[in-house]
């Protein structure tokens, strides 16, 4: 393979075996490149066994299971690093932290010892001590222009040139301490985000041909029976077909209390079995599991910068020139180098540029710990501003799981239980959501299913079978009346009542005569009204419900809910048109949905939110994905976002206010360079720590 990207940040394949590949990455020579993060990032790929990096040789060796798709995934991720900032500077390298610690200790010792030294030796010792900052400032000036390091180096240099060695040593020490705390704070916030990248699941036990064998989790296929016991990380998404277990889902949903899971329950990859042993029928494996989706979501999140962050970067860069210009004015007016040095320590850029990024990452981690995945700072920013929330009905406002509500026998000699048993015995052959609800209800009542002939499916209409020589039909009214000439008109009052209650009605007939009706209704989420009211309390102006369902069923669900507008009988494109209509009016729109038909609207909205059982395309296009199956998570996400933006604004105001006050005091000669450095660095540290831990529910 030839070089992937013909730049300094290129990668090239230098050696390959069936289960091992080695690349050369010149970027690894850059000491600002975080090799620990790269290792963790590549090891998170399902199928990768080990990653080893040799910085001096600029090489990275990857051991994997030999699958071509794993190799392609490795190359894709390495290419991402090669195109990004070195090591995608999510965290400060350990080498930089060690160097910062050394500089602080060295500066502290010099500060204590230098007053006891002769003046000439004191000057030499001070120059050696502050030289890292001077070199850093000079290198920055040559390679990047006038940046923060240039101001700090200039300020310390002025104190040194004026032979105020105490001030030079103190301000250098304060500068190093401030920078160390800044990097440590940023590293901590980045470590939180990095923790969301899920590790490889390792080996797993599966049952094949009634024999239990251990295989790499990457070799599990859809339909395999996976066996997991106490202490195991579940490697797939699937349904439990045998056993009982207590499952800790904290890593995915944020729930701290383990839940009992048994036959028929669904479990997610990345969750941990604390007690018990279960067999799982694998529905989603490898890159399709919940864990893999979270990893991809985090990857995308890290590549996005919000308007706030971009604006903060611009303001921070401009502020350096402002500080330099003000220092020049002070010198022109007073000629006092001491005042100039004090002014040069007034730096708006540090807290202005770093605080929003730290706050966003901290919020993303805290939200993820509550089962809410947020795709970067821009999603937080847009969610905080959203004043219109549009909810799809089915699977969002409702559970999307129909429940049987009525079973009405219309023929003399038939009871509702007998009718339900017959319907369930027909539906169990062609399961769909409505059929599953009928079968589930009959089994809960332990009803015996009657024997009948083979069940025939009349596509898009209904089912047909024979029992004791009599033909039984189950399906829609249209099927009964238009295709089978069986009239239910004498029961219109009952049908109308069921329709007004928002129920779906199935009709049954026997030997060309009405036999009964079965009604089902999608269940409203218990927390729905409370969650919508919370959004209103947070300042959301309007809550809108949309649905492709009929007017009767949609309005029946909407009644009693704090919704302002209701749209029904919509096509998927109609939902996105409604989103665009509100946006064209200048509204900030959040759309909450879960189905394939919701994807156009999710894309069209300022911020798209996908429910936990959402379709793949809805999850991929959403800005926020919920791993908690509750509408309260939508309200929680909104609260997180609004608190984050308030915190960022508060930090910005504090930064500007305090630094402006320090500048005025410094330019008037009230503050010495040492005092100016103390106040500036102290303010920056307080703001960053506040950004790191200021958000909670």
Catalytic member of 34, 46, 190, 392? 392
- Is position 392 annotated as part of the catalytic site? yes
CB-based burial of residue 656 (10 Å sphere; 0-12 exposed, 13-18 middle, 19+ buried)?
Answer: middle
Q: Which helix (H) or strand (E) holds 538?
A: none
Rounded distance, CA 381 to CA 643, Å? 10
Q: What are the DSSP E strand ranges found in 410-503?
A: 456-458, 462-467, 470-475
Q: Is 543 exposed, middle or buried (0-12, 13-18, 19+ CB in 10 A)?
A: buried
107-to-104, 111, 539 alpha-carbon distances in Å: 5, 6, 51
Cβ within 8 Å of residue 204, ≥6 positions away: 214, 215, 216, 217, 220, 226, 228, 232, 235
560: Cβ contacts below 8 Å, ≥ 6 apart: 529
Residue pair 271/252 in contact (Cβ under 8 Å)? The answer is yes
Lookup: tokens for 665 = 């005091």
Q: Which of 247, 248, 265 is nearest to 256 (CA)?
A: 248
DSSP state of 28: G
Strand order across the 470-475 sheet? 398-409, 513-524, 504-510, 470-475, 462-467, 456-458
Q: Burial-class residue 468 by CB neighbours within 10 Å (0-12, 13-18, 19+).
A: exposed
Q: How far apart are alpha carbons 508 and 427 in whole angstroms?
A: 12
| Residue 53 and residue 39 in contact, taking contact as beta carbons nearer than 8 Å | yes
Alpha helices in 345-461 (DSSP H): 349-369, 376-385, 416-427, 433-444
The structure tokens listed for 284 are 């989603």
By the 10 Å C-beta count (0-12 exposed, 13-18 middle, 19+ buried), 336 is classed as middle
Question: How many DSSP H helices and E strands does the chain contain?
Answer: 23, 24
CA distances from 206 to 198, 211, 244 (A): 21, 8, 17
Q: Are 573 and 591 in contact (CB under 8 A)?
A: no
SS (H, E, C) 591-627: EEECCHHHHHHHHHCCEEEECCCCCHHHHHHCCEEEC
Report which DSSP code applies to 90: S
SS3 of 119-176: the string is: HHHHHHHHHHHHHHHHHHHHHHHHHCCCCHHHHHHHHHHHHHHCCCHHHHHHHHHHHH
CA distance 151 to 327: 10
Distance CA 373, CA 244 (A): 29
Measured CA to CA, the distance from residue 386 to residue 608 in angstroms comes to: 11
Distance, CA of 56 to CA of 22 (rounded, Å): 14
CA distance 400 to 149: 57
Residues marked active site are found at 392
């Amino acid at each position: 393979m030839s070089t992937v990207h013909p730049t300094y940040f290129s990668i090239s394949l230098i050696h390959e075996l069936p289960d091992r590949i080695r690349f050369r990455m010149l970027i690894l020579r850059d000491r600002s490149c975080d090799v620990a993060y790269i290792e963790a990032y590549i090891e998170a790929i399902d199928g990768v066994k080990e990653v080893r990096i040799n910085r001096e040789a600029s090489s990275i060796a990857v051991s994997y299971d030999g699958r071509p798709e794993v190799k392609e995934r490795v190359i894709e991720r390495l290419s991402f690093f090669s195109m990004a900032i070195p090591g995608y500077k999510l965290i400060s390298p350990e080498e930089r932290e060690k160097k910062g610690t050394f500089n602080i200790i060295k500066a502290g010792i010099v500060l204590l010892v230098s007053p006891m030294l002769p003046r000439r030796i004191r000057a030499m010792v001070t120059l050696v001590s502050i030289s890292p900052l001077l070199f850093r400032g000079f290198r920055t000036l040559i390679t990047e222009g006038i940046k923060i390091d240039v101001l700090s180096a200039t300020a310390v240099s002025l104190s040194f040139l004026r032979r105020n060695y105490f001030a030079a040593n103190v301000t250098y020490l304060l500068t190093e301490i401030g920078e160390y705390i800044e990097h440590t704070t940023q590293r901590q916030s980045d470590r939180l985000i990095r923790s969301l990248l899920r590790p490889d699941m390792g080996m797993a036990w599966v049952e094949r041909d009634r024999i239990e064998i251990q295989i790499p989790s990457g070799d599990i296929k859809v339909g395999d029976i996976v066996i997991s016991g106490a202490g195991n990380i579940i490697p797939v998404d699937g349904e439990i077909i045998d056993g009982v277990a207590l499952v800790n889902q904290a890593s995915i949903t944020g729930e701290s209390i383990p839940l009992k899971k048994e036959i028929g329950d669904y479990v997610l990859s990345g969750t941990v079995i604390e007690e018990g042993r279960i067999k799982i029928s694998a529905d989603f494996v490898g890159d399709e599991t919940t864990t893999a989706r979270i990893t991809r979501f985090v990857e995308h999140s890290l590549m996005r910068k919000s308007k706030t962050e971009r604006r903060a970067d611009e303001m921070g860069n401009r502020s350096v020139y402002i500080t330099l210009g003000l220092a020049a004015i002070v010198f022109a007016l007073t000629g006092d180098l001491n005042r100039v040095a004090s002014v040069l320590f007034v730096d708006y850029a540090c807290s202005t540029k770093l605080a929003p990024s730290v706050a966003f990452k901290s919020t993303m981690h805290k939200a993820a710990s509550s089962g809410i995945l947020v795709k970067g700072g821009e999603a937080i920013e847009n969610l905080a501003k959203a004043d219109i929330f549009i909810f799809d009905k089915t699977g969002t406002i409702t559970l999307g799981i129909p429940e049987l509500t009525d079973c009405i026998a219309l023929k003399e000699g038939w009871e509702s239980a007998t009718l339900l048993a017959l319907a369930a015995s027909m539906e169990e052959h062609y399961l769909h959501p409505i059929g599953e609800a009928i079968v589930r209800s009959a089994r809960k009542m332990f009803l015996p299913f009657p024997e009948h002939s083979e069940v025939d499916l009349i596509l898009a209409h209904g089912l047909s079978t024979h029992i004791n020589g009599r033909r039984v039909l189950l399906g829609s009214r249209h099927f009964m009346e238009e295709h089978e000439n069986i009239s239910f008109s004498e029961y219109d009052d009952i049908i109308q009542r069921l329709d007004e209650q928002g129920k779906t009605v199935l009709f049954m007939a026997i030997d060309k005569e009405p036999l009964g009706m079965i009604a089902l209704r999608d269940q409203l989420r218990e927390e729905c009204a409370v969650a919508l009211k919370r959004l209103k309390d947070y300042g959301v102006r309007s809550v809108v419900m949309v649905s492709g369902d009929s007017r009767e069923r949609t309005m029946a669900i909407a009644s009693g809910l704090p919704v302002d507008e209701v749209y029904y009988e919509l096509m998927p494109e109609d939902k996105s048109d409604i989103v665009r209509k509100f946006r064209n009016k200048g509204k900030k729109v959040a759309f909450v949905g879960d189905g394939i038909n919701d994807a156009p609207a999710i894309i069209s909205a300022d911020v798209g939110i996908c429910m936990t059982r959402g379709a793949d395309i809805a999850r991929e296009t959403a800005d926020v994905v919920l791993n908690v199956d509750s509408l309260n998570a939508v309200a929680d996400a909104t609260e997180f976002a609004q608190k984050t933006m308030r915190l960022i604004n508060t930090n910005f105001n504090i930064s500007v206010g305090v630094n402006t006050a320090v500048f005025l005091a410094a330019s008037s000669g009230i503050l010495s360079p040492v005092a100016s450095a103390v106040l500036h660095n102290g303010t920056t540290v307080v703001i960053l720590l506040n950004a790191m831990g200021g958000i909670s529910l």
